[in-house]
Structure formats: C-alpha cells, structure tokens
Chains A and B, each alone.
Chain A
Amino acid sequence: MSGHSTWPEWVYVGVVVALLCYVGAEAWNIERIVEHVPEDAEIIKVVGQQWIWTFEHEDGTKEIGELHVEKGKAYKFEITSKDVIHSFNIHDYVVLLDAVPGRVNTVWFSPTDVGEFDIQCREYCGLIHYNMRGTLIVEDKGA
C-alpha cells in the first residue's frame, strides 16, 4: 500500500511456518510411538458411571474406585461408560481418554513408580463430577 518493502513479513511468515512444520512433525512422530500398544499388555476394563469408576482385570477381579497394578507391567485400558460421557484420567501418567456410552476406547500405560496416584473424571458429567475420583495403587510384586 504505502510503497514499503514486504520482505520482513515474508521472512516472518516463513519462520512461523517452519516452526509449525517442526511442531507438527514431532507431534506426529511421538504420537505414533506412544500409541503403539505392547503385545503383552494386560487388559483392564474400565467402566465410568455417575459418579464412580469400576475396573475389571483380565483374571476377573473387580474393583470399585481403586485400581491395583504392578510396577513395570504394561496395561491396556478398555474404557466405556454406562450412562453419560466421562473422561478417564490418571494425570501423573498422562492417561486421558473419554468414556463414551456405546463405544470402547483403548489407551495403554506402564507404571514406573510405586505409590498412590489420583484417578479423576475430566469430562463434565453432572452433580458429583467434581468428586468422581479414584486411586491408582502401583505395587512392586518383585520386591
């Protein structure tokens, strides 16, 4: 418009695009790696309902509100819901996936530290959403 040079803007846009390409490629690569479920992962069925979490291990053991797992093993969660949408979240292990009625979503993780970790609901599900919490208990059977 005013007869000035436009190259600074092109350089700037070029830098922004390059940065975004890097972020996108890196995100794509990491997501590809973290989504790869190990073959020996044990399956844990997770059911969300207003306002509790229930778990069923491969051997048929059921737990409510508490989940016992072993350090170092890989686990694959099969998550669903009985009523409304919830979101199964173990923040310390970056486990986050919606529990959707009529669907089964899967995500895996492998605990590395012994101790107790919070399980919570991250999708609004009504009256007691704020207190739809549970505990992940990681034990070291080998020790």
Chain B
Amino acid sequence: MTLELQKPRPIWQIMFSTHHTDVGLLYLITSLAFMFMGGALALLLRVELFSPGVQLIADSMTYNRIFTVHGTTLIFLFILPSASAFGNYLVPIMVRYKDMAYPKLNAVAFWMIPPAGALIWLGFADFTWYAYPTYSVISAPGPAADMWIFGLKILGVSSILGSINFVVTIMKCKHPDLPLSKMPLLAWAYLTSSLITLVAVPTFAAALLMLLTDRLGASGFFNPAMGGDPIAYQHLFWFTFHPEVYILVIPAIGFMYEIFPRFSRKPIFSHSSGVAAFTLLTIVGFASWAHHMYATGMSFTEKTVFMVGTLAAVPASAMHTFNFLATMWGGRIKFATPIMWAVGGIALFFSAGAGGVVNSAMPLDFITHDSYWVVGHFHLFVMGTILFGTVGFVYYFFPYVTGRMYSEVLGKVHFILSFVGTVLVFFTQHILGLFGMPRRIYDYPAIPEWVQMNIIISIGAFIIGIGMAIFLVNLIWSSAKGKPADMDDPFGLGGKYYFPYQAKNPSH
C-alpha cells in the first residue's frame, strides 16, 4: 500500500486522506516542488552576479525580492516540510503505532503550507528572510511585507502542530515493548527536533505579531521613533532561528543514521552516543543565539557568553561525524546513490562546522560578519548537509514510495555535479567574504578578485542547476517507467528495513 504511485488512486483520495503515508507523500511532493522553485531563484541571482553591471535583473528591488523569497522558500517550504514528509512515513512505523497520534491535526498542519507558500510567492517581499526592523517597519514596501508576515505566521503554527503530533506519537503511542533507549535514531531525531520547535518557534510567532502591529503604526516595539528598540527583535528572532538550525539539521543527521548502517551492512557504531549527541544539541542549541549579533554593539561579556555557548555545540556535532565514520569503518559498503550523498554530506558538514568555529570566535567574526563568508558558511549547512542528507534519503526512499527504482547512473551523476558545484560555490564564497564582499548586494564594483570569484561561483551554481535538472528528470521518468523494485530488498543489501508498507491500518 505504500506504493502510492504504483497503485494509482484519484488524486483527491490522497489529498483528503489523513493517513500518515498519504500526508507524508503530500509533504514530500510539495517540499520538492518548492526546492526546485527556490533553486531556480538562486540561479537568477547567480546570473545577475556573474559580473559587475546589469546582467538580467533590471533593478535592485527585484533582486532583493528574489533573494528574500529564495531564502524563505528553501528554509520554510522545502527543508521543514521535507523533514515532516519522512517523519510522517517513518515515525509511526518506528514506534509501532497505526498512524500519527492526531491524524486530522496532521492533515491540517500540512494544508496550512500551500496557502502560506502562496502568500510568500504572491507577495514577493524584499526585506530578506530575517526581516530586521527598522527596515521592515518603516521602509519595506507593502503589501508584500505583510503577506510575508502572515505566511510565516501560518508556517509557524503549522510546524508547532506538526511537532506536537510527533512528540505525542513518540511519547504516548510508542509500543510498550519498545523502550525509548532502543528507539531508532531517526525517531530520536524527530523527538528532539520537535521539542526544539515547541520551545523556540513561539518566540518568533510573538515577534511577528509585534512586527505587524509596528508596521500598522499601532505599536512601537521595534521602532526607536516610538521608544522601541530594533535590537529586541533580533534577540527574539535569533532565539527562534539559531535553534531552528538544529531543527533543520537534526532530521538530516537522522536520515544519515538510517543510510550509513544500511549501506555499510553493519550496526551503528554507538546508538547511545547518537542519542546523547541529539539531546546535547537540543539543550546547547539554546545557548548560542546572539552569536549572530556580535556586530550590533554587544558588550564584551555578552559576546564571551555567546561564544562559549556556541562552541559548546561543536562536540555534539563532532560526535555524530565520528559515529558515521566509525559505522562505515570495516563495513562491507555498497556505494549506491544514497550513501554517496550521505558521505558527501558529512564532508561538507565537517567543513561547515569548522567555518562556524571561526565565526564564533569574537575577533574573527568582525571579518566575516555579513560578508559572503557567512553566505558560504550557512549554505554548507543547509545545502551541503541538510539538502545532501535529504536528497540521499529521497533516493533511498524512492522504491518504497513508487515501487520502482530510480536510475542509479543519473543519481550518481546528480551527486557528482552537486558535490563539485557545492564546493565551487560555497568554498569560494568563504574566500570572497574574506576579500570583503558584503552579502545581499545587487551589484558590486569591479574589484578584480571579486569579479573572478563571482564568475567561479556562478559557474558552480550552473553545475548544481544541471544536476538538479537531472534529478527532476530522474524522479519523473523513474516513477513512471523505472524498473520495478524488489520490495523486500531494493538495494540488494540483506538485513532488516523499515518498510513504509508495514504501516498498519492502511486506509481510513
């Protein structure tokens, strides 16, 4: 029954279903659609930045709107829903329950995403994905800005509802024979990332309301002209969005915890170290938010506290990396597409983490802050780690959803192009940042180093773009015409899988 696409059903049957695999499929298709849309915007930006002067985009306002929607789309409409997609498929199976705890709430949480996406895309706001006041209060043009605020508000509620569902499913509906300590690490990933969501996201929800009333002139929380303080918004924002980094990255690490042991044909090196690292990240993730704000004029003491809080998160991430490598060590590894993505993901995760240590060290942050270094740094996380983990898992999951195999050759070509492209784009951006190029600029002076590096970055971006086009072809063609998969062991690995079709209560 998993095989939603193998046994065709009328689309409305999937759309109005509350079954967890159907909701998971809706999440998956939506998030991948937004991934391609957001990625296409990135290509427009790279065409414009290929060299100084106007290339493609006629004015800076359009450029500003494009990078805002690019960021918002990929974070909120691709990464979050894609994590929910696999969570919906797998969490009930992993805790041996018939469905999510609240199936209707689950469908509601999904159906809040399309209207929110429509608000964001129809509005096309320009104030960057973090909408700092006072620009967002006194200067950003409406109604785009207001539509963005409402869109994000809806997405915030959606992710809170989704998280409640995951936490209750795991804590209350888990089979009594399965102790929490033996639960698969991917389920642990959903438990911890959902708990972070529940603590972190309400803060931003409050900040959004304050931003909206400020824009309407009814209040002045963030407007110094009315006695407010714009830095207060940054604290509220980053209190949500630094932990959000962990909300995004923890499921991707969970995917890797499924992929590595499976394709290494060896158990995870240390289940308990994985659990410990997830738990540690959940806690210390809340101790570092203001490291995004060193340059706002913070005192030496504040900066020191948040530097220590930031560095404290590194050992937990390092434990995951160790666990992955130790799992592969001595295993009979089958280098199919999913594990290639996961291995690439760890390499880039490590690079991103090393760059993060540089950012968190106070004196160095003043070199890198708001430059292209930062753009390269967080893209190594969101693309290099999270997208790589997620895409690897999409390949891993493909036979279970469609009943067919994807094209292994195209999958590997996609990986190689994406890996080469990612290194070209985001490593170069680090160096470009050291040469002082600020982020979020529509045009730049013809400084020779800047021009050369921008050309390299744009070429890398087109390489990624070609890879993604191949991915799209592979997904569509293989789901219709791919060769039927051996559903007991699609990758020929032997051993025990979590089959989505083991889901109980297939139709209700």
Contact = CB atoms under 8 A, between A and B. Distances in A.
Interface of A: 1-2, 4, 6, 8-9, 12-13, 16-17, 20, 23-24, 26-28, 30-32, 34-35, 50, 83-85, 87, 89, 91-92, 94, 96-98, 100-103, 105-106, 118, 120-131, 133
Contacts of B179: none
A39 B410 CA distance: 65
Given A50-B139, A105-B297, A124-B128, A28 B362 contact: yes
B357 A23 contact: yes
B47 to A, nearest CB: 16
B436 interface: yes
A124 B140 CA distance: 11
A102 B439 CA distance: 24
Contacts of B444: 130
B73 to A, nearest CB: 18
A9 B135 contact: no
Interface of B: 60-61, 64, 126-128, 132-135, 138-140, 224-225, 229-231, 267-273, 295-297, 300, 303-304, 307-308, 311, 314-315, 318-319, 322-323, 326, 357, 360-364, 366-367, 369-371, 435-436, 438-445
B371 A122 contact: yes
A28 B307 contact: yes
Contacts of A87: 295, 369-370
A2 B272 CA distance: 11
Contacts of A118: 436, 445
A125 B267 contact: no
Contact of B366 (A84, A96, A129): A96
B135 A94 contact: no
| Most chain B CB neighbours (cut-off 10 Å) among A98, A102, A120 | A98
A84 B361 contact: no
| Most chain B CB neighbours (cut-off 10 Å) among A12, A28, A31 | A31
Contact of A31 (B225, B363, B371): B363
A2 B270 CA distance: 8
Given A50-B139, A96-B366, 5 more contacts: A84-B139, A97-B295, A118-B445, A122-B439, A124-B127
Contacts of A13: 315, 318-319, 322
Q: Which 6 A-B pairs have the closest CB atoms?
A: A102-B224, A91-B436, A105-B297, A27-B361, A130-B441, A84-B135
B318 A100 contact: no
A101 B224 CA distance: 6
Contacts of A9: 269-270, 273, 319, 322-323, 326
B266 to A, nearest CB: 9
B362 A27 contact: yes
A26 to B, nearest CB: 8
B351 to A, nearest CB: 15
Contact of B304 (A12, A26, A28, A121): A28
Contacts of A123: 132, 370
Nearest to A81: B134
Contact of A103 (B297, B315, B367): B297
